[in-house]
Amino acid sequence: MAEGEEKKTKRGAGRPRRLDPETIVATARRIIEEEGVAALSMRRVAKEVGSTPMALYHYVRDKDELLLLTLAGVSAQFPRPELPADPRARLITAAVHMHQVLAQVPWVLKVLELGGLTDKQALWIAEEIIDSAMACGLSAGQAVATYRTIWYFVYGDLVFRASAARRAAEPDRKQHWPAMLTEEDAAELPRLTALAPRWEELQRYDIAEQLAAIVDGLLSRAGGAGRAAEREPGAQEPHM
């Protein structure tokens, strides 16, 4: 057997391991996609790959690391949209795309909460948003802050979208709002009291509209129109 000779190559044809990281991660991802993050457990993955729970710990340090690894490649499943040339429109289009993609893979939210962005193939969205913001006259610092603000907003929207959907699926659980308002609150909370009867119709919420509005506010911070990087003290121009 040639196994001994091939041992020095870290990942050669010889010495097939019973387990390999790709299978572990792919299995974890499948479980999450089919049954949600809550269904993922080390024991479950071990069972499905035909091994024992502790064998997995040779490939990942703990469950959180496995969770983070399931992120890789997810965004590549979605086609990259054509973006408009106008930087403001481009920024909004990229942000709406980010929202729309994540709405289709809601489990990703739970994983993103654990750590940073680990899917390299999603970085183009940050690139486009930051680049658009700078093209609109923001400094690099402002552009990065703008990206964060947009991300926080998109994330928050998606979390409560999922939360509302969960609650709607369990209608016997008591809804607290606006039912909890009583007559006595009218003096303290006049607006809410007045709006309560037509609360349903007031729930219309268009993410693209909100995004356009907040982007307007964020871009209005620009010191001058267009071309910003020059104004930034110590800014290095990106090569392009």
Binding site for DNA (CB under 7 A): 17-19, 40-44, 51-55, 57-58, 62-64
Evaluate whether 213 touches 127 at the Cβ level (below 8 Å): no
Which does residue 216 touch among its own copies, DNA, none (CB within 5 to 8 A, set by kind)? its own copies
Cα gap 210→147, rounded to integer Å: 15
Evaluate whether 49 touches 42 at the Cβ level (below 8 Å): no
Beta strands in 150-204 (DSSP E): none
According to DSSP, residue 78 is labeled S
* Shortest distance in whole angstroms from residue 43 CB to DNA: 3
Cα gap 133→139, rounded to integer Å: 8
* Shortest distance in whole angstroms from residue 27 CB to DNA: 13
Read off the tokens for 84.
């408009």
Which does residue 8 touch among DNA, its own copies, none (CB within 5 to 8 A, set by kind)? none
Which does residue 43 touch among DNA, its own copies, none (CB within 5 to 8 A, set by kind)? DNA
Residue 226 backbone class (left: φ over 0; alpha: ψ -120 to 50; beta: rest): left
**Closer residue to its own copies in complex, CB, 7/166:** 166
Which does residue 201 touch among its own copies, DNA, none (CB within 5 to 8 A, set by kind)? its own copies
* Shortest distance in whole angstroms from residue 193 CB to its own copies: 7
Which does residue 81 touch among its own copies, DNA, none (CB within 5 to 8 A, set by kind)? none
* Shortest distance in whole angstroms from residue 131 CB to its own copies: 4
Evaluate whether 119 touches 105 at the Cβ level (below 8 Å): no
Return all residues near 71 (Cβ < 8 A) that are at least 6 apart. Answer: 108, 111, 112, 118, 119
**Closer residue to DNA in complex, CB, 35/86:** 35
**Closer residue to DNA in complex, CB, 22/86:** 22
* Shortest distance in whole angstroms from residue 43 CB to its own copies: 19
* Shortest distance in whole angstroms from residue 146 CB to its own copies: 8
**Closer residue to its own copies in complex, CB, 51/118:** 118
Evaluate whether 208 touches 92 at the Cβ level (below 8 Å): yes
**Closer residue to its own copies in complex, CB, 12/115:** 115
Which does residue 130 touch among its own copies, DNA, none (CB within 5 to 8 A, set by kind)? its own copies
| Residue 164 φ then ψ, to 5° | -65, -40
Cα gap 203→3, rounded to integer Å: 65
**Closer residue to DNA in complex, CB, 46/228:** 46
